[in-house]
Structure 1
Amino acid sequence: MALITQLAVFGSIAWIVRFIYRTFFAHHPLDNIPGPKPTSLVTGDLSRLFHRLAWDFHKTLIYEYGPVSVVRGLFGARMVYVFDPKALHNIVVKDQHIYEETPVTLTFNRLFFGESLLSSLGEQHRHQRKILNPVFNINHMRHMTPIFYRVSQKLRGGISKQIASGNNEVDVLNWMTRTALELVGQGGLGTSFDTLERPEVNALAEYIKAFTPTVGPLFLLMRIVPFLTRIVPPAFSRRFLEFLPWKRVHKSMEISDAIYETARAVLESKRTALASGDEAVSSQISEGKDIISVLLKAQTSVAEEDKMSDTELLGQMSALLFAAMETTSGALARILHKLAQCQDIQEKLRQELIAARGGRDNIPYDELVSLPYLDALCRESLRLYPPLITLSRATTQDIVMPLSNPIRGKNGQMINEIPLPKNTTVMMGLWGSNINPAVWGEDAEEFKPERWLSNLPDTVTDAHIPGVYANLMTFLGGGRACIGFKFSQLEMKVVLSILIEHFRFELPDKEIYWNCTGIQYPSIGRVDEKGQLPLRVTLVKSS
């Protein structure tokens, strides 16, 4: 027994020595790539990359180090931060099978949201996406439009009641969170979660809204969990988290359970309606046009091997509940905050919407999606303020990453391509790509919707940015592009078309700070972590 203990200790020491030598002393292919000096030998640059106040550090990487730099991860591991267009194209399109989701991302998504597009790889991911693609196409979005208008009109009524009660300081984030939940509830799951009648708390919305502030500070822990899952079953990994004496961990698991139980209850209800026939399906709130109803109905007429398992269905529903609600609510809140800052832009949008509606109840789908200023506003907001500012990949084999333009190495020589060893973490700078002055010009950080009303500069089109939407990396690109970006775009445009025509949004006498951790969210000042966005809201006209 003593011999075994001695061997274990010796083996551990040897591993540590080998790791320290390879990390800090041995030559590495990335040693010639510039980057900031890490602040910690243990955590590297992770606290600066993922802290909710991390904006300045990301700007340092973008403007001081350029389209490619090296940052340090856990125990000094070298990571590449990149927003070079050609490199991004190789990562998300050409060589996407080599640049896979990182173990940290996969483990996190699987633990909290189950088996879904967010946690699958390879053939499983392609199979899930093939099944889901038809319910996210444009034709199906047309069927979603009346549902979205119905929810948005309820939102209008709820805000009107709050203003009529004498309280015109409105927590816009709360309303947008509840609205996004109801939009994904009716349009995605065919169920209603909120009447939107009063400025009250919705338990499920509050849970989901609290998820990002809760898990944000756990970024170091989440980088350790993947190592645990290599030696123990995933179920034990969850049990391990439950035993940790940290309130944030317990709260995050509580939120995950609430989302899963909601998805399970909805799935059972849908299955019961489907078994009762078309009339029962049509009598539901979405009349069977929601994403899950369409998906379940399609599953009845395909071969067994082409169906999704219940585990996968619940995973997709849980992921949809979180991702669709959190990103859309944040994007809408950001636009309304920006319109409160820019009253001239808000008024210009209002006049376009009034003219387009022309006295009708709602603007039809084809006209709404074609409104030039509304579209320009959405594009510019999603360019400057993507919900996620980075996404990571890990190389599954050695590969050479080409660059659009050469960079200068530490030794002064110009570098046209960078060799990446297997298991290198590559951080795609989505925000960096969207505000790259070499592509978007010197005014890249200015909020200018008008830039989209004429031809974009040749530097934008010539860059061949691989994003699936508007030459932007906001919704990513390639085989893992956001499958619901058209769904999200329609939600945003319908909600804005109702709100801006009837309400005026103005800034409060409080500092609003947008937190950088995970999915961006607003808070009052930099100290309070709680997500909220108070704006002054008044009626434009009596309605």
Structure 2
Amino acid sequence: MPSLSPQLLLVPVGTWLAWRVWKYLFGKNPLSIISGPPTDSILTGNMMNIFTGTSSNEAYIDNLAKTYGSLFKIHALFNADLLYTYDSKALQHIVLKDQHIWEEPEDFIILNGITFGAGLLATLGDHHRKQRKILNPVFSIAHMRDMTPTFYSIGRKLRDSLTKLNESEKEIDMLPWLTRCALELIGQSGFGYSFDTLEIGAPEHRFGHSMKNYTAALNDTALVICRFTIMPIIHNWGSRRFQRAVVDFLPWKALHEVRDMVDVMHSTSVEIFEKTKQAIKEGGIAASERVGGGKDIMSVLVKANMLASEEDRLPDNELIGQVSTLTFAAMDTTSNALARILHLLATHQDVQDKLRKEIREAHFIHGEELDYESLTALPYLDAICRETLRLHAPVPILMRVATQDAILPLANPIKSTDGRLLHEVLVPKGTSIFISPHHCNRDPAIWGPDATEWKPERWLSPLPESLVEARVPGVYSHLMTFLGGSRSCIGFKFAQLEMKVILSLLVERFQINLGDKKIIWLSNGIVQPSTEDAPVTSGRKETQIPLVVSLAA
């Protein structure tokens, strides 16, 4: 625990506790009939069993889902009631039908605004829709076709460096390589900017380092408490300069670590935006000589913004905010998803061999660099990506808050604390709810009795009728991995293309095997790999995924 003066917590914590006592003594709580586990702590409820950045978090929440069903109640900070659901009908209402009622939590929006700027993750309602309207065209299939050669160029650099490294090292920690590659992909194709040569021993860019460590740094216990209690109250106090002076003054190491990361993100975002504007202003050779030939997302976005009507045009600070926002959304999630696929391929050698055969046959017919249509048409590669994103969603839990009283209908009725069967639940205004892509994607009622097994072949046959009938509101392939509705992941096609290009290049050349170290998966908001004996730094287990890499026959 950092050396933080406890007096700073007294006012918000005292106010919260007084409100909780009043609610308990005088308020009628409709959620009292919802079953759930007992609290683990008066201060943190059940939260530290869900978000401690350990490998036990998934087992804990899996056990709750098995015990209590598709909707249950857990305890948040100071034992506030918090719902958890993966019920498909409830999710339809939360992310689609009644999405105007279910908003991102205030602390999430505030934190993202402070950290990334006024990008997609920091806006709500009409403001959010306005930003997506400008951004949507740059994530279209047509634009992904144009980006495919850039993806291959970067993927080949990764593959060539791993080939050289393999001459001296048989066991390679693949995670930093995948993270560096993901950063360079969003750098070149997203911003016309190169962060990394992907050469052996190349220095890590400060921007990538900050992005990679940001989520885990936020898991500091005191930061979590202050995020939910103090930040919503004080975030508008005084000027930015005053707020910065307060942050600098506080003797709080964890806060200063996050501050320094945010500084790097902001300064890099401003640099990228200014270079983009300058290149477009100069035009001609200056624009075409940008990394990616001026077809990057930021170049297209700035041009589209210039041509947009006055009411649709975004101010510069919102364009700057998209840089860190898109990088954060694209880098860690995709690199960790790729790490998970390599881990699974190392565990299932028969699947790896079959995939390699499919890729080599495609290369024999079309050449090493497949076009967008040829790559996305590979059925087994597609099935492996879909199945991994189904079973192992990189972001397993998301939160929404009811902005008014709401009725939440259920596809699978739950049993109340007094023994009744509930087909719907009354949710009071202000109630927070966890929605779980992790459990919706694994629900046996939807996916069948083998729902918790990794079976790429399931995507090569007709999907079960129960899945079609469930009408899961995900934007991608009946899955909640990329969410759905107006706040679905805008870059899911980008992520799919990245995964398929990198896998096709690596699996074609390398045989991937498990090493001696046992790989575990940590819940750091984003699910990340580590090993049982990985060192612990600043209270956090270091992320890594060491795999044995050799040239494939």
User: Do these two structures clear the TM 0.5 threshold for a shared fold by scoring above it?
Assistant: yes
Contact 1:50 1:219 in 2 (8 A): no
Change (3 A) 1:520 1:234: farther
CA contact (8 A) 1:46 1:74 kept: yes
Aligned to 1:440: 447
Confirm whether residue 123 of structure 1 aligns to residue 126 of structure 2: yes
Q: Which residue of 465, 470, 473 maps to 1:458?
A: 465
Q: Which residue among 227, 230, 234 is the counterpart of 2:232?
A: 227
Who is 2:545 aligned against? Answer: 533
Once residues 536 and 16 of structure 1 are traced to their aligned partners in structure 2, the CA distance between those partners, rounded to angstroms, is: 52
Cα gap change, 1:496 to 1:534, in 2 (>3 Å): same
Q: Secondary structure at the match of 1:467?
A: coil
Which of the residues 71, 82, 99 maps onto 1:96? 99
1:78-157 → structure 2 map (5 Å cutoff): 78-157=81-160
Aligned to 1:32: 33
- Closer/same/farther in 2, CA of residues 226 and 397 from structure 1, 3 Å limit: farther
| C-alpha spacing 1:127/1:417, structure 2 compared with 1 (3 Å) | same
Task: Decide whether the 8 Å contact of 1:210 with 1:531 is kept in 2.
Answer: no
Would the aligned equivalents of 1:38 and 1:44 in 2 still touch at CA under 8 Å? yes
Indicate the residue corresponding to 2:285 in structure 1: 279
Task: Identify the residue that residue 306 of structure 1 maps to in structure 2.
Answer: 312
**Counterpart of 2:334?**
328
Q: Tell me, what secondary structure is at the counterpart of 2:50?
A: helix
Once the two structures are superposed, what CA deviation does each residue of 1:211-244 show, in whole Å capped at 9, x if it has no partner? 2222223422321243333662573555544444
CA distance in 1, matches of 2:15, 2:435: 34
CA distance in 2, matches of 1:465, 1:14: 39
Residues in 2 aligned to 1:156 and 1:18: alpha-carbon distance in whole angstroms = 57
Q: For the Cα contact (< 8 Å) 1:177–1:326, is it kept in 2? A: yes
Mapping for residues 16-415 of structure 1, pairs under 5 Å: 16-23=17-24, 26-53=27-54, 54-164=57-167, 166-204=168-206, 205-217=208-220, 218-229=223-234, 232-233=237-238, 235=240, 239-358=245-364, 360-415=367-422
| Matched-pair contact (CA < 8 Å) for 2:396–2:438 | yes
- Corresponding residue of 2:7: none
Contact kept? 1:242, 1:249, Cα under 8 Å: no
Post-superposition Cα deviations, 1:85-144, rounded to whole Å, max 9, x if no partner, equal 000000000000110000121122112111111010011101000000010011111001
Distance 1:14 1:250 in 2: 27
2:495 maps to which residue?
A: 488
- Take 1:240 and 1:411, find their aligned partners in 2: how far apart are those partners? 50
2:512 alignment partner, SS class = strand
- Using the alignment, how far apart are the partners of 2:488 and 2:461 within structure 1? 26
Rounded Cα–Cα distance in structure 1 between residues aligned with 2:250 and 2:84: 32
Alignment partner, residue 6 of structure 2: none
Judging changes above 3 Å, is the alpha-carbon distance between structure 1 residues 357 and 329 closer, same or farther for their aligned structure 2 residues?
Answer: same
CA separation of 1:237 and 1:382: change in aligned 2, threshold 3 A? farther
2: CA distance, partners of 1:15 / 1:284: 52
Deviations, residues 139-182 of structure 1 (Å, cap 9, x unaligned)? 11100100000000111111111112x11211100000000000
Distance 1:452 1:237, change over 3 A: farther
1:26 CA displacement: 4.1
Mapped to 2, the partners of 1:418 and 1:241 lie a distance apart of 42
The 8 Å contact of residues 162 and 199 in structure 1, kept in 2 or not, is answered as: no
Q: Which residue of 2 aligns with 1:475?
A: 482
- Residue 363 and residue 16 in structure 1: after superposition, are their counterparts in 2 closer, same or farther (change >3 A)? closer
- Residue identity opposite 2:61 in structure 1: H
Q: What's the CA shift for 1:324?
A: 0.7
Note if contact 2:276-2:299 (Cα within 8 Å) is conserved in structure 1.
Answer: yes
Q: Look up the SS of the partner of 2:548 in the other structure.
A: strand
How far did residue 15 of structure 1 move?
A: 7.9
**In the alignment, residue 445 of structure 1 is paired with which amino acid?**
T
Deviations 1:22-71 (A, max 9, x none): 14774310101100001112221111121112112211221111100011
Structure 2: stretches of 5+ with no match in the other structure: 1-9
User: Residues 192 and 141 from structure 1, CA distance in 2 versus in 1: closer, same or farther, beyond 3 angstroms?
Assistant: same
SS at match of 1:305: coil
Change in 2 beyond 3 A, CA 1:234/1:375: farther
Q: Give the match for residue 427 of structure 1.
A: 434
**Distance in 2, Cα, partners of 1:498 & 1:224:** 47
SS in 1 for 2:45: coil
Q: Cα 1:59–1:25, aligned 2, differ >3 Å: closer, same or farther?
A: farther
Mapped contact 1:104–1:225 kept (Cα < 8 A)? no
Q: Which amino acid aligns with 1:506?
A: N
Amino acid at match of 1:212: T
Kindly provide the CA deviation profile for residues 332-368 of structure 1, in whole angstroms up to 9, marking residues without a partner as x.
1111111111111111110000001116131221011
**Deviation of residue 260 (structure 1)?**
1.5
Percent identical across equivalent pairs?
Answer: 44
Could you give the per-residue CA deviations for residues 242-270 of structure 1, whole angstroms, max 9, x where no partner exists? 44433222112211211211111111111
Q: CA deviation at 1:497?
A: 0.7
Is the partner of 1:167 in helix, strand or coil?
coil
- 2:34, 2:52 → 1: CA distance? 24
Q: 1:389 to 1:234 in 2, by over 3 A?
A: farther
Q: Distance in 2 between matches of 1:414 and 1:23?
A: 25
The count of aligned residue pairs is 532
Would the aligned equivalents of 2:409 and 2:423 in 1 still touch at CA under 8 Å? yes
Q: What is the Cα deviation at residue 14 of structure 1?
A: 9.2
Residues in 1 aligned to 2:499 and 2:373: alpha-carbon distance in whole angstroms: 15
Q: Against the structure 1 CA distance between its residues 44 and 280, is the aligned structure 2 distance closer, same or farther, given a 3 Å change threshold? A: same
The answer to whether the 8 A contact 2:82-2:434 is kept is yes
Instruction: Pick closer, same or farther for the CA change 1:526–1:104 going to 2, 3 Å.
Output: farther
Partners of 2:13 and 2:483 lie apart in 1 by 41
Query: Matches of 1:445 and 1:11 in 2, distance apart?
Result: 42
Cα distance change of structure 1 residues 234 and 107 upon mapping to structure 2, 3 Å threshold: farther
**CA shift in 2, pair 1:242/1:67, >3 Å:** farther
SS of residue in 2 equivalent to 1:450: helix
